[in-house]
Structure formats: C-alpha cells, structure tokens
Amino acid sequence: MAKTEVILIQNIVGLGGESDQVKVAAGYARNYLLPQGLAVPLTSANRRRIEALKQRRGEREAHEFSSMTELGKSIANLIAVIAVKTGEDGKMFGTVTSGMITDQLKRQFDIVLEKRKIHLEHPIKALGEHEVELRLHHQVTATLKVRVESTTPIAVPAPQTAPAEGKEPRARTESRGHRRAEGARPEENAAVEAAEAPGRPERKPRAPKAEKHEAPEKQEKREKP
C-alpha cells in the first residue's frame, strides 16, 4: 500500500498532534485528512508552517492541562449515582460500564468526558460505592466515586405484634372443656371445674354428725361393779 507524508494541522487521536510529520496511507490522506483540513502535504512551502503549528500546539496543551487539573479537583468531590436492576438476592443484572459512567456524568453534573478517559480495571458487578480512575490528561489523573444503587424494591417483612403489657396469660383449655389457670393450686382448679360444669347442681356441704350421749341410767349400770 502506497504511503505519503503529511503535516498534521490538528490533533488527531492515535495519529499525532499539530506540527507532527506522519506517514499515512495515500488513500487515507487523499480521501479524509486533506479534504477535512486536518493535514497538508509535506512540501518545502508547508514546512514553514511547522513553527507556527508548534506554538499553537503548546498553547492548546497548556490550556488542556489547566482545565483538566481543575476538572480533576472538582470530580474528587462528586459521587455519580447509577441505578441498576437487581434480583431478589441483590445481584445485578449485567455490569456498570465506562459508557454508563460517561452518560451519568453528563446527566447528573453536565460534565462531558470521553469514554476512553474512564479507566476500569474490571467491570463493576456489585452494589455500593466504587472508586474509578479517570485519565483526564497524560499528566493528570483523578478518582471518581461511583455509587451503584438498586431500583428493585426490597420486601420488608411484617412486624410481629408483641403482647400488651399487663395482660394476664390466657388459661389453658383441656380436652374436657374445663379451664385451668396456670400455676393455680389443685383445690382452686376443682372449684373452677365445679362452677363451670353445665347442669350439675351445686352440692351443699354436709353438716357434721352430732355426738351420741348415753342416757344416765346406762352410765350408772356400767359404773357398777
């Protein structure tokens, strides 16, 4: 494939910055770089523009460094909240990607950041707070806090009602239908059973038997020898 040399007039990611002399495919230069005004052919006349391009490049990089440094300080105090769907066990469906973080920064803080500047060593797969490294500039890095929350409502168990204070324990019910109070004496339970028995007449207590007294005549006969 034929190659040609050009001088870049604008910064092109992955290719170079202003004033750089690069070799590219002839078709790429002819069909894209030159028509878009991103580069000019490497000629003696165009070489004179290199110094002006280098100066413009230095000014641009200084401005980027300053703005990215300020952005990094601001981002250090922010928390990007991302809502995800989870199952009943709290596990996420899918992962949080750099694209989702970019969208949330734009939506929540109106910060426009390229996705390639968000560096995730591993995709985020769990709820909670995570620290994400941002490579804002080749000399500037920052840390963004990302909080992942679930949009799935959590089922709350119904509270158990405690017995009211001062309430006496309910009596136990036996198979015969009589109630016996817990901790009562046997004679007290017997009285309760007698009072609650349906159709059983209450028995009156028997009067004590009178002592028998012998007649005086019989006593005299027994006393005689």
Q: Which two tokens stand for residue 71?
A: 């952005």
Q: How far is CA 78 from CA 97, 145, 197, in A?
A: 18, 7, 78
Residues 43, 97 within the same domain: no
Residues 25, 90 within the same domain: no
Q: Is the pTM of this model over 0.75?
A: no
Residues 34, 79 within the same domain: no
End-to-end alpha-carbon separation of the chain, Å?
Answer: 165
Q: How far is CA 112 from CA 23, 87, 108, 165, 179, in A?
A: 32, 32, 11, 62, 78
Structural domain including 142 reads: 72-150
Query: Based on the number of CB atoms within 10 Å of its own CB, is 161 exposed (0-12), middle (13-18) or buried (19 or more)?
Result: exposed
Average pLDDT value over all residues in the chain: 78
In whole angstroms, what is the distance from residue 123 CA to residue 119 CA?
10
Q: Is residue 40 part of a domain?
A: yes
Residues 37, 82 within the same domain: no
Q: Is residue 86 part of a domain?
A: yes
Q: Is residue 174 part of a domain?
A: no
Q: Where are the alpha helices (DSSP H) in 11-49?
A: 26-28, 44-47
Q: Is residue 8 part of a domain?
A: yes
Q: Is residue 143 part of a domain?
A: yes
Residue 123: which CATH number?
A: 3.10.430.100
Residue 21: which CATH number?
A: 3.40.5.10
Q: Is residue 221 part of a domain?
A: no
Residue 96's DSSP bridge partners are 124
Give pLDDT tens digits for 91-104. 888 889 999 999 99
Is 188's pLDDT higher than 80? Answer: no
Q: How is the chain split among helix, strand and coil, in percent rounded to 5?
A: 30, 25, 45
Residues 43, 91 within the same domain: no
Asked if 39 and 30 touch (Cβ cutoff 8 Å), the reply is no
- How many separate domains does the chain show? 2
Asked if 79 and 146 touch (Cβ cutoff 8 Å), the reply is yes
Residues 145, 96 within the same domain: yes
In whole angstroms, what is the distance from residue 88 CA to residue 94 CA?
15
Residues 29, 78 within the same domain: no
The last residue of one of the domains, among 150, 182, 198, is 150
Is 175's pLDDT higher than 60? Answer: no
Indicate the residue type of 109. Answer: F
Q: Is residue 28 part of a domain?
A: yes
Give pLDDT tens digits for 8-45. 988 888 888 888 889 999 999 999 999 999 999 988 88
Residues 101, 141 within the same domain: yes
Residues 129, 76 within the same domain: yes
Residues 103, 143 within the same domain: yes
Q: Is residue 114 part of a domain?
A: yes
Q: What is the mean pLDDT of residues 48-68?
A: 88
Indicate the residue type of 11. Answer: N
